[in-house]
Structure formats: structure tokens, C-alpha cells
Amino acid sequence: MSELAERFETHDPGEKLVAEKIRCDACPVMCYIAESRTGACDRYGNVGGRIVRMDPLTILDHAAETGAAIVPFAEEGETWDGELVNTGRRFVTAIGAGTTYPDYKPAPFIVSQEVEGVDLVTVVTEGIFSYCGVKVKIDTDRHIGPETATVRAQGEAIGHVTTGEYGSQMLSLGGVHHLTGGSKAEGRATCDAMLALCNRKPVELVIDGGATVIVEAGKPPVIDGKLEQRMRVGCGSATIGMFATQWRGLVDEVVVVDDHITGVVSEHQAGKVLGWQDTGIKIIGRRSTPGRYFKVSEPGLGWGGTSISDPLSILGEWNAKKGARPGMSLLMVSTTGEQFAYYELDDELKPVQKPFPERLRKSVELIEDNCEPALCTVLFVGGAGGSLRAGVTENPVNLTRSVQGLTTYVTVGGAPVYVWPGGGITLMVDVTRVPEGAFGYVPTPALVAPIEFTMRRDDYVRLGGYEGEIRSVDDILAKGGEYLNPRRGTAAPRDNPWPPLAQLRRAAANGAGR
Ligand code: SF4
């Protein structure tokens, strides 16, 4: 008996059936499940002596080309007559469809549909992704941790901080090494965190040498207990470039404090073009090009993603020979406009903070207005391999070639995906475009994600598809499938294109439409 099978009271294939328990064979764990109980993943259960998929099959009915409403399959004991929206634009997603296991079995549903005179086939399966991860983009200028720092959930290493992008901090989480290459606790914590993130639940992540961040797809991050509000408008240099004209004639000097590039208007090209006078200012930092300074401070939770709370700490002595004079005015502002202060030089050329003048308020508000809301974006990234591709065609590499050749359109729960160039089928999907609760797991551990492949019927046959398994949407609605649990779905509508039409249009645009 395998270790997992033992843990979940399961048995290896071929072993004798345990009294009144029946075996689920939808994944390698092979749980034996008692009446009215569910297996280790809670996705399958024993209902009346039959293994059923416990979540409802989700069928999309697209009310318009760009609007997708989720339509329930049917209440128990009913069949759905398709009249709820009645657009005829239905799409059987893989959510609740069940899994192809072992590899040679055809996918749970292979659905035919005629669209604009073309016979299309959609192959529908819930893929078990042992090789998968989550990329998190956190729109904030707060420093959350150094690059490559370990990210932990439940105290276990589940990923790392990767390269920050413009105004965003990025995390790379999961992957097969954390899922199965470490301890059991690490694998479980990784799987739990990825599952929650993909199903749009909040997850607390602790970064070694950095911040504690609560990440939830589609929501602002909470960093060290503080709900973030804004993503910066740009780096300090870009901010100077964008708003230099707003400050002209209102103030003698402007410094935009930023963790990456701090900008100084009198030295910056934007100021020079406008005829800005030298001010004799001295910035303590590494000068890059005129008016642009790197490393004015360590990164942190202070002004502009730096660690400073007093912006004057980045200024050196003012130089009278280079233009400094008593009474000179100075605006210091962060890249989000959240922090700002106004100073005037005294007789000894020391900046003294003064009440913030009304004349500058509009320009600071403009910086704030140009910021975007702080936000967490979660992308599921997975490599579709073995059982998944074999469930579509007897010759799996044909599916890969067909996806790469754009004759097959891939969706996750009806949501469009980005397929990476190169070998294999490595896809990314924004989890907020996937109906809620679409992701599951198996305790191997691995994530389960819905995946659909839509293509012309003749292409499907040509790539070695299971032609004898093709069924109409109506037949699926009327008769269900091997494991189908006909219960009501509850997911919310999403704005995704209707996959069959999207496939036809893309194929036509790429000259693949015939
Ligand atoms: S873990 Fe889930 S899918 Fe796998 S055998 Fe058990 S109940 Fe079935």
C-alpha cells in the first residue's frame, strides 16, 4: 500500500475492496470512501454507493460576446432546459467535470457544437498540476523584501521574492520543488497557499528580512498590518518629467523621493528645458544622470518605498555658490503623493518646514490622482502534461503542436489564458477571470485546475482525438457524465469572450480558419 493510500485509508489498484467502501480512481491516491463521506481532496464522494464529483458542473451561458453569466447545471433530479438565458451560446467548462486518470482515459467531456457553420469540439477536464505555481504582482511602492528572499506561509518556505517591476513587487510561489521536493509540511503549506490564492482567498505571507503581507487576488495588499492605498505614478524621475510644468513659477525646487530613482527638478532635463534655475541643492545618493539619484536610502516602508521618515535626511549642505539663497522654497513629495512637505531656507541655508502652501496642493493632488489603486494580481501558472494531454488525444504531442500552432484555443474555466512560447503547454491565467472555487487539490500534493481545449472538429480528429467520445451539449445536459453531480452552481459572472467564437476569430486572423 502506498504511503498516501495508507494515510487516507485507501488501497492500491487491484487490492480487495473494503466492505461498504468504494474506490475513487480519479487520482493516484485511490481513496476508498464510505457512504456519505468524501475522499481526501473533498472533490469526490460516495453518494448512494456511487462515486460522484461533489462540485457542480459549471456551464457558461454567454449573454453577449463579452459578457458571461454562469448558468447552473440543474437541481438534483431535474434536467436543465437551457431557457434561463437562452442565447444558445453555452460553454461546458471543466469546473466540476472530473479528472482524467489514469492517463489513457479520454477526458470527462468532449463536447461538440456548431458555431457560425463550423463544427467545433471542446475537450474538458480538470487537470492535476504537479508542476504549477502562482505569480503574484503587488501594486505598491512599499518595499516588501529583498529580491530572492524566501516567502513563507504557515512558517514553511513556499516561494521567493522575484524582480520588482515598475511600481509593483513580484512574488513567485509554489512550483514542484516546494510542492514535492521538500518536507511534507512544506508541500502541504505550499499547496494550501496556492489553492487559497487561486480561489481568491486571503493568504498571509511572511518574507524573510521583509514584511508580512496579506495577499488576496483583486484586493489591495495589507503590508505589516496597513491596508495599502496606492501604486506610485512612476519613479521619481518620471514624476518630475510628468509634473515639472505644474510646479514652474510656484516653487524654487522639487525633490521627488523614491526608492529607485529620486528626482530633482532643477537638475533634471525636464527642469532644464523649462529654464529652471540652479538651487545649489545636494542630494546624498548615487548620481545617475542629471537630476536622477539612485540609493538615497535603503528600501523600506517610508517615503516613496525608502526607509526614511524625514526627507531632509537625504539632503546635504546647500551651496550658495551654486544658487542657494535664504528664502528659497522647496517641495519634497513621494511618488504616490501620500507624503509631502514644504520648506524654506533660513539665513544659514538650512531648510525649515513651513505650513504647506495652498498654491502647491493641486500639484500634489495631481500626483495622487495619477496613481492607481494598490492591488494584488494572482496568476496561476501551470504546465499541462501527461494525463491531461493524453485525455485529449492518443498522441499527446499533437495537442502541444496544435496549441502552439493556434489551431487549439485553451481556456481555464472559460477564461482566456496566455500560453508561453516554446515547448509544452505552459499557461498563465488571471484567477479573477475564473469562476470562484474553480481550483481544487489532491494530496499528492498538486493543484487541480479546470482546462478546456477548443478546436475545429476536423482538426480534433486529425490530431488523434477520441472521436467516439464526442457528445453534444444537450446530451451532456440531459445525461451528465461518469462522475457528474447535478447540483446548482454558484459562481459569479465574468467578462470573458465566448471561447468557441474567440477560437474561430483567432484562427481566421492567423490564416488557420478554413
Ligand atoms: S484524493 Fe480525491 S480524487 Fe484522489 S482518489 Fe481521493 S477522492 Fe479521488
Q: Which amino acid is at 473?
A: V
Q: Which atom of ligand 1 is nearest to the CA of 25?
A: 5
Best residue among 1, 21, 43 to mutate for probing ligand 1's pocket (most ligand atoms within 8 Å of CB) is: 43
List strands edge to edge, sheet with 90-92. 68-71, 59-62, 90-92
Q: Which atom of ligand 1 is nearest to the CA of 44?
A: 7
Asked if residue 320 is part of any domain, the answer here is yes
Asked if residue 374 is part of any domain, the answer here is no
> Out of 74-78, 99-103, 373-377, which region has the weakest mean confidence (pLDDT)?
74-78
- The reported pLDDT for the residue numbered 391 is 84
pLDDT exceeds 90 at position 252: yes
> How far lies 259's CA from each of 95, 294, 303, 306, in Å?
43, 8, 8, 5
Rg of the chain over Cα atoms, rounded to whole angstroms, equals 29
Question: Which of residues 58 and 320 earns the better pLDDT score?
Answer: 320
Binning pLDDT at 50, 70 and 90, where does residue 63 land? low
Could you tell me if 278 and 395 lie in one domain?
no
Interior CA angle at 340 toward 256 and 332, to 5°?
40
- CA 42 to ligand 1 centroid distance, Å: 8
Q: Which atom of ligand 1 is nearest to the CA of 43?
A: 2
Query: Measured between alpha carbons, how far is 329 from 355 in angstroms, rounded to an integer?
Result: 12
Could you tell me if 404 and 496 lie in one domain?
yes
- CA 23 to ligand 1 centroid distance, Å: 9
Q: Which amino acid is at 493?
A: P
pTM of the model: 0.85
Query: Measured between alpha carbons, how far is 342 from 375 in angstroms, rounded to an integer?
Result: 30
**8 Å CB contact between 40 and 31:** yes
- CA 187 to ligand 1 centroid distance, Å: 17
Strands (DSSP E) contained in 325-445 are: 329-334, 340-345, 351-354, 372-373, 375-384, 409-412, 415-416, 418-419, 425-430, 440-442
Average per-residue pLDDT for the chain: 87
- The reported pLDDT for the residue numbered 303 is 92
Total domains in the fold of the chain = 4
Could you tell me if 242 and 314 lie in one domain?
yes
Q: Which atom of ligand 1 is nearest to the CA of 23?
A: 5
Other beta carbons less than 10 A from residue 484's beta carbon: 19
CA dihedral 216, 218, 222, 228 (to 10 degrees): 170
Closest alpha carbon to 473 in 63, 59, 14: 59
Query: Measured between alpha carbons, how far is 365 from 120 in angstroms, rounded to an integer?
Result: 53
For ligand 1, atom 7, the nearest C-alpha belongs to 39
Q: Give the residue carrying C-alpha cell 496566455.
A: 418
For ligand 1, atom 5, the nearest C-alpha belongs to 30
- CA 394 to ligand 1 centroid distance, Å: 24
Average pLDDT over residues 17-26: 77
Average pLDDT over residues 50-68: 72
- The reported pLDDT for the residue numbered 4 is 52
- CA 371 to ligand 1 centroid distance, Å: 46
Of 231, 259, 281, the one marking the end of a domain is 231
> How many secondary structure helices (H) and strands (E) does the chain include?
11, 34
Average pLDDT over residues 204-208: 98
Could you tell me if 300 and 321 lie in one domain?
yes
Q: Which atom of ligand 1 is nearest to the CA of 8?
A: 6
Asked if residue 377 is part of any domain, the answer here is no
* Composition of the chain by helix, strand, coil, percent to 5: 20, 35, 45
Could you tell me if 207 and 272 lie in one domain?
no
Could you tell me if 93 and 183 lie in one domain?
no
Binning pLDDT at 50, 70 and 90, where does residue 390 land? confident
- Positive or negative, the CA dihedral 164, 170, 176, 177 is positive
Best residue among 24, 46, 50, 188 to mutate for probing ligand 1's pocket (most ligand atoms within 8 Å of CB) is: 24
Average pLDDT over residues 469-494: 68
| Residues 69-89 pLDDT 10s | 555 444 444 444 444 444 567
Best residue among 7, 8, 25, 442 to mutate for probing ligand 1's pocket (most ligand atoms within 8 Å of CB) is: 442
In eight-state DSSP terms, residue 311 is G
- Positive or negative, the CA dihedral 291, 295, 299, 302 is negative
Query: Measured between alpha carbons, how far is 411 from 93 in angstroms, rounded to an integer?
Result: 9
- CA 469 to ligand 1 centroid distance, Å: 24
Question: Which of residues 261 and 480 earns the better pLDDT score?
Answer: 261
Q: Residue 502 contacts by C-beta under 8 Å, 6 or more apart in sequence?
A: 409, 416
- CA 487 to ligand 1 centroid distance, Å: 20
In eight-state DSSP terms, residue 349 is S
Asked if residue 248 is part of any domain, the answer here is yes
Average pLDDT over residues 395-416: 91
Asked if residue 379 is part of any domain, the answer here is no
Could you tell me if 76 and 174 lie in one domain?
no
Q: Which atom of ligand 1 is nearest to the CA of 27?
A: 4
In eight-state DSSP terms, residue 105 is S
- CA 39 to ligand 1 centroid distance, Å: 5
Which domain covers residue 85, as residue numbers? Answer: 58-130+385-510
Share of the chain above pLDDT 70, in %: 88
Asked if residue 378 is part of any domain, the answer here is no
Of 231, 254, 287, the one marking the end of a domain is 231
Of 345, 369, 393, the one marking the end of a domain is 369
Could you tell me if 257 and 164 lie in one domain?
no
> How far lies 318's CA from each of 97, 149, 253, 287, in Å?
70, 38, 12, 16
Average pLDDT over residues 158-169: 92
Asked if residue 408 is part of any domain, the answer here is yes
| Residues 322-344 pLDDT 10s | 999 999 999 999 998 999 999 99
- The reported pLDDT for the residue numbered 237 is 92
> How far lies 141's CA from each of 137, 233, 301, in Å?
12, 10, 8
Could you tell me if 102 and 35 lie in one domain?
no
**8 Å CB contact between 452 and 122:** yes
> Out of 290-304, 444-458, 468-482, which region has the weakest mean confidence (pLDDT)?
468-482
pLDDT exceeds 80 at position 421: yes
| Residues 257-301 pLDDT 10s | 998 899 999 999 999 999 999 999 999 989 999 999 999 998 888
**8 Å CB contact between 58 and 413:** yes
Could you tell me if 167 and 226 lie in one domain?
yes
- CA 24 to ligand 1 centroid distance, Å: 6
> Out of 212-216, 308-312, 485-489, which region has the weakest mean confidence (pLDDT)?
485-489
pLDDT exceeds 50 at position 468: yes
- CA 275 to ligand 1 centroid distance, Å: 71
Could you tell me if 122 and 169 lie in one domain?
no
- The reported pLDDT for the residue numbered 19 is 54
Could you tell me if 364 and 247 lie in one domain?
yes
Exposure of 321 in the CB half-sphere (CA atoms within 13 A): 1
Measured from CB, residues less than 6 Å from any atom of ligand 1 are 24, 26-27, 29-31, 39-41, 43-44, 442-443
Best residue among 6, 22, 41, 105 to mutate for probing ligand 1's pocket (most ligand atoms within 8 Å of CB) is: 41
Average pLDDT over residues 287-316: 92
Across the strands, what pairs with 38? 45
Share of the chain above pLDDT 90, in %: 61
Q: Give the residue carrying C-alpha cell 487537470.
A: 127
Average pLDDT over residues 423-439: 93
Asked if residue 179 is part of any domain, the answer here is yes
Helix (H/G/I), strand (E/B), else coil: 431: helix
- CA 34 to ligand 1 centroid distance, Å: 13
Exposure of 234 in the CB half-sphere (CA atoms within 13 A): 12
pLDDT exceeds 70 at position 15: no
> Out of 5-9, 234-238, 414-418, 481-485, which region has the weakest mean confidence (pLDDT)?
5-9
- CA 96 to ligand 1 centroid distance, Å: 14
